[in-house]
């Protein structure tokens, strides 16, 4: 069974930084593109960033471009999201997802909560 | 502002059939990008229900089906059950976003 387990969320002040991790198991991690998708309070899902299987191609939503960096360590089966210059509007549950694969996100984690507030 | 438009809520009695619409544009569904559907139940991880417009992943009951026409798509759920209550999202690639866009979500209530 494929499992994705996010960690690293918490409370951070505006302008601060946070690093999220996603530990993957049950799949050949290095074969799959991976993504981060977030859900702000009382809002829908928003795709944040994607990374190709070898980690050579990155994609970002305009709302986070220049502030967030996605990366992976295929030897550790782990995906990361480095978040800098955080804003109140970045407050959300951040989900790790396997994909896009054929443009869909096939497996999701349970998410980690990030709160940006003073 | 979501690139895909869904009704905020739908409801139905147990055993009934409900449909959820997803309206896109000529930067996503209308130019041939596939539509995918997700189920998000309270306190759980989102789950892929339908991919590639009308394909079910292994383990998804055949009570769930998807269709696509023009710039829109629909998710149909037959034989409604109490455990189906949750939020459903459509999703597609969008060329204006240069990324993957979701609908705003539709809350399904089983009466």
Distance, in angstroms, between A59 CA and closest chain B CA? Answer: 8
Taking every pair of Cα atoms in chain A, the longest distance, rounded to a whole number of angstroms, is 40
Dist CA B6 CA A7 (whole Å): 31
pLDDT band for position B10 (cuts 50, 70, 90)? very high
Distance, in angstroms, between B15 CA and closest chain A CA? Answer: 27
Mean confidence (pLDDT) of chain B: 96
Q: Write down the pLDDT at residue B94.
A: 95
CA-nearest residue of chain A to B6? A44
CA-nearest residue of chain A to B104? A44
Task: Give which of B48, B88, B107 to mutate to test A binding, by max A Cβ within 10 Å.
Answer: B48
Residue A45 DSSP class: E
Dist CA A47 CA A100 (whole Å): 10
Chain A residues lying within 8 Å of B101, measured CB to CB: 47
Chain B residues lying within 8 Å of A108, measured CB to CB: 45-48
Dist CA A60 CA A62 (whole Å): 6
Q: Which two tokens stand for residue B12?
A: 């139905």
Dist CA A35 CA A100 (whole Å): 7
Q: Write down the pLDDT at residue A29.
A: 96
pLDDT digits (tens, 9 = 90+) for A10-39: 999 999 999 999 999 999 999 999 999 999
Cross-chain residue pair A106–B92, CB shorter than 8 Å: no
pLDDT digits (tens, 9 = 90+) for B76-93: 999 999 999 999 999 999
> Which residue positions in chain A have pLDDT lower than 70?
none
**Burial bucket for residue B43 (CB in 10 Å: 0-12, 13-18, 19+):** exposed
Dist CA A33 CA B26 (whole Å): 26
Cross-chain residue pair B99–A107, CB shorter than 8 Å: no
Quickly list DSSP for A61-117. Answer: -TTTTTTEEEEEETTTTEEEEEE-S--GGG-EEEEEEE--BTTB--EE---EEEEE-
Length of chain B: 111
With beta carbons less than 8 A apart as the criterion, state whether B75 and B32 touch: no
Chain B residues lying within 8 Å of A5, measured CB to CB: none
Q: Say whether residue B24 is in contact with chain A using an 8 A CB cutoff.
A: no
Q: Write down the pLDDT at residue B43.
A: 85
With beta carbons less than 8 A apart as the criterion, state whether B78 and B10 touch: no
Q: Say whether residue B105 is in contact with chain A using an 8 A CB cutoff.
A: yes
pLDDT band for position B42 (cuts 50, 70, 90)? confident
């Amino acid at each position: 069974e494929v499992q994705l387990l996010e960690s690293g969320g918490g409370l951070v002040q505006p302008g601060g930084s946070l690093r999220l991790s996603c530990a993957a198991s049950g799949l050949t991690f290095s074969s799959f593109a991976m993504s981060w998708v977030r859900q702000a309070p009382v809002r829908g899902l928003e795709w944040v960033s994607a990374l190709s299987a070898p980690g050579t191609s990155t994609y970002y939503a305009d709302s986070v471009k220049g502030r967030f960096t996605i990366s992976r360590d295929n030897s550790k089966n782990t995906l990361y999201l480095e978040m800098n210059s955080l804003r109140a509007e970045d407050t959300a549950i951040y989900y790790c997802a396997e994909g896009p694969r054929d443009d869909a996100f096939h497996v999701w984690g349970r998410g980690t909560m990030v709160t940006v507030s003073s | 502002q979501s690139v895909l438009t869904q009704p905020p809520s739908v409801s139905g009695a147990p055993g009934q059939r409900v449909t959820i619409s997803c309206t896109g544009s000529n930067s996503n569904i209308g130019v041939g990008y596939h539509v995918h559907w997700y189920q998000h139940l309270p306190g759980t991880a989102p789950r892929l229900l339908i991919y590639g417009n009308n394909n079910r992943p292994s383990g998804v009951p055949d009570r769930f089906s998807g269709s696509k026409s023009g710039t829109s798509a629909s998710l149909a759920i037959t034989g409604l059950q109490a455990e189906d209550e949750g939020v459903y999202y459509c999703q597609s690639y969008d060329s204006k976003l240069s990324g993957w866009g979701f609908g705003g979500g539709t809350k399904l209530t089983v009466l």
